[in-house]
Chains A and B, each alone.
Chain A
Amino acid sequence: MEQLIQKLKQEIIEVLNLEDIKPDDIDANAPLFGTEGLGLDSIDALELIVLMEKNYGIRLQDPNQGKEIFKSISVMADYISKNRTK
């Protein structure tokens, strides 16, 4: 799981173009959205939806899922490990 969390941090930095942030700077349990943690917004959320689909074969289509899955990188990694198709 730790390996997946690190990989996910790296992928998020790349797709969201977070140039000044290193994987170790990101707290895996911190909120991804809002004023705390990474402070991502809706444009970034769509990028994460696409990332889940392209890199892990997970199609997120239920509007109610997002709030839960994108809580933090740890939660995302847990969901990926249970639902990935590639």
Chain B
Amino acid sequence: MQKALIALFKVVPLELIYCVMALVVPFYMLFNHKGYTAMYHFFRQRMGKGVLSAVLHVYLNHFAFGQVVLDRFATYAGVRFKLTVDGNENYLHLNEGEKGFLMLSSHVGNYEQAGYVLKSDHKTFNALVYNGESPIVMNGRNRQFADSNIHMIPVQSDMSHLFLINKALDDGNIVSMPADRCLGSAKSATCQFFGAEAKFPLGPFATAVQKEVPALAVMVMKEGSRSYRAYVRPLVCDASLQPRQQMAALAQSFASTLEETVRHYPHQWYNYYEFWDGTGV
């Protein structure tokens, strides 16, 4: 299926495939009941939409998700998107320094596109990834980034990924990890998010504090059929606080940045579970 998609993008225009997908989305929504319900609750309770409006927004959300999935395979097939960066100076400032730093992602937009625009000629980019991804996705990614300095660090049950993270940061390189879902540790930080408490994984923020490295929130949002805008924002906390308080402050800084972005692009929020009851974290 995934191989066929990549082959398809070499002969069929992306926009035509989007149109076909628009017809398929309602059927997908019918069978993805859990995800549909969670997203409906997001639009009703967090975005304050009415019943019919929320249903429409759920459709648009699923359509937008389908677009970024297709864009990922289109990229593997050689299609290129226009990428602009908002806050590039935050990245350049850290990239020019000797110290390693963290780039924290989330399940919004299409983070993978960041690899094509936030480049470094002297630091390696080490992405912490879920070990259960399909070989096609991993191979596609590896092919795309074969000539670059981008490396994948799969999360392992023996915690060996921690040593690779530690080494990468010690060597002054970039480590990227998702900061809205748990990978590894189940410890979390409770943050104010869309007017209610939500749990965020503690790991990324603990890493920043423990290793004393700066952290950036990076979100790459789809704007047009062939364009993306990357938002790069520094996470801040009071350095005089106790380490545990610093972790909590960084988590809140991330949650606030994420909320600001999702309010601008509500259809690109892709956490298809009840994010606010804590069971999915």
Contact = CB atoms under 8 A, between A and B. Distances in A.
Contacts of B156: 63
Contacts of B34: none
A42 B170 contact: no
Contact of A62 (B163, B202, B206): B163
Secondary structure call for the A interface: helix
Highest count of chain B CB atoms <10 Å: which of A33, A61, A65: A61
Contact of A61 (B161, B163, B206): B163
Residue among B158, B159, B160, B184 having the largest count of chain A Cβ atoms under 10 Å:
B159
A60 B162 CA distance: 10
A42 B184 contact: yes
Contacts of A42: 159, 162, 184-185, 203
B162 A49 contact: yes
Given A43-B202, A43-B206, A46-B207, A66 B170 contact: no
A65 B164 CA distance: 12
B122 interface: no
A42 B165 CA distance: 12
A30 to B, nearest CB: 18
B159 A45 contact: yes
Nearest to A63: B160
B158 A46 contact: no
A3 B88 CA distance: 51
A7 interface: no
Given A66-B160, A67-B158, A41 B186 contact: yes
Interface residues of A, number: 20
A83 B195 CA distance: 51
30 contacts: A33-B159, A41-B184, A41-B185, A41-B186, A41-B187, A42-B159, A43-B185, A43-B187, A43-B203, A43-B206, A46-B162, A46-B207, A46-B210, A47-B206, A47-B210, A49-B162, A50-B166, A50-B210, A50-B211, A60-B163, A60-B166, A61-B166, A61-B170, A63-B158, A63-B163, A64-B160, A65-B163, A66-B160, A66-B162, A67-B159
A58 B243 CA distance: 22
Interface string A49-81: 110000000011111111100000000000000
Contact of B166 (A17, A43, A49): A49
A63 B213 CA distance: 21
Interface string B101-123: 00000000000000000000000
Q: Which 7 A-B pairs have the closest CB atoms?
A: A63-B160, A42-B184, A63-B163, A43-B185, A61-B167, A41-B185, A42-B185
Interface in B228-254: 243-244
Contacts of B211: 46, 50
Interface in A18-58: 33, 41-47, 49-50
